Homo-oligomer: A and B are copies of this chain.
Amino acid sequence: MKRRFAGATGIAVAIAVAVGCVEVDEVRAQDAKDVSPLYGVAVPDGYRKWELVAPALEDDPLNELRAVVGNTVAMEAYRSGTLPFPDGTVLVKLAWKRAQSAEFGTATVPGAATTVQVMVKDSGRYAATGGWGFGRFIDGKPVDEAQHETCFACHDARVQGHDYVFTRYAP
C-alpha cells in the first residue's frame, strides 16, 4: 500500500509539473497578492459579522471613522480582561472616510471604505513582533512591504503595555 500511494503521488506530481504549472503559478501569485508582505496575514472570512470591540475617529490627515471587531477568542479575552491576548486572537479594523450626514447636521457618518487592517496573534510565528502578525488591505489587496514595516514599530512604541493593541472594549 505504501509503495502504491507513493507511486500515485509521483504520477500526480508528474502530471502537475507537465500540464499544471501555469495554473499553479497563478494560484501562488493570487495567494501572494492576498496576504500581507512580511507577515502572510489574510483578511479573515466573515469578519464583517464579528462582534464590535469599539468605534473610533481618526482626525486629520486621515479623517476616518473606524470600528474594530474581534473573533470569538478576541472577545472572550476582552470580556475577561485577559492579557496578553491568547493565540488565535484576530482583530479587524474597518475604516471609512468621515462624511457629513445629509440628514443630521451634527452627525459624522461613514463614507467610502478605505482600509481593512488585521492583527493575528500567534506567539510562535510572530515572536519577533510581540506575537502579532499585521495586514493592511485596500480593496482586499495588501499594501506594500514598506507600509507593513511601520505597523509593529508604532504599536511597540505606544501600546506595549496593552499587548500592542490600541483598542479597548467599549461596554
Chain B residues positioned under 8 Å from A109 (CB to CB): 54, 56, 167-168, 170
Chain B residues positioned under 8 Å from A59 (CB to CB): 106-108
Contact, CB under 8 Å: A67 / B55? yes
**Separation of A96 and B55 alpha carbons in the complex (Å):** 10
Contact, CB under 8 Å: B56 / A65? yes
**Separation of A91 and B68 alpha carbons in the complex (Å):** 19
Contact, CB under 8 Å: A57 / B65? yes
Q: Contact string, A41-69, partner B, CB cutoff 8 A, digits 1/0?
A: 00000001111101111111110011101
**Separation of A167 and B67 alpha carbons in the complex (Å):** 15
Q: Contact string, A104-118, partner B, CB cutoff 8 A, digits 1/0?
A: 101111100100000
- Taking the closest CB of chain B, its distance from the CB of A105, in whole angstroms, is 8
A30 at the interface (CB under 8 A from B): no
In this complex, the member of A52, A60, A101, A171 whose beta carbon has the largest number of chain B beta carbons within 10 angstroms is A52
A158 at the interface (CB under 8 A from B): yes
Residue of B nearest to A170 (CB): B110
Among B61, B98, B167, B168, point to the contact of A57 (Cβ < 8 A). B98
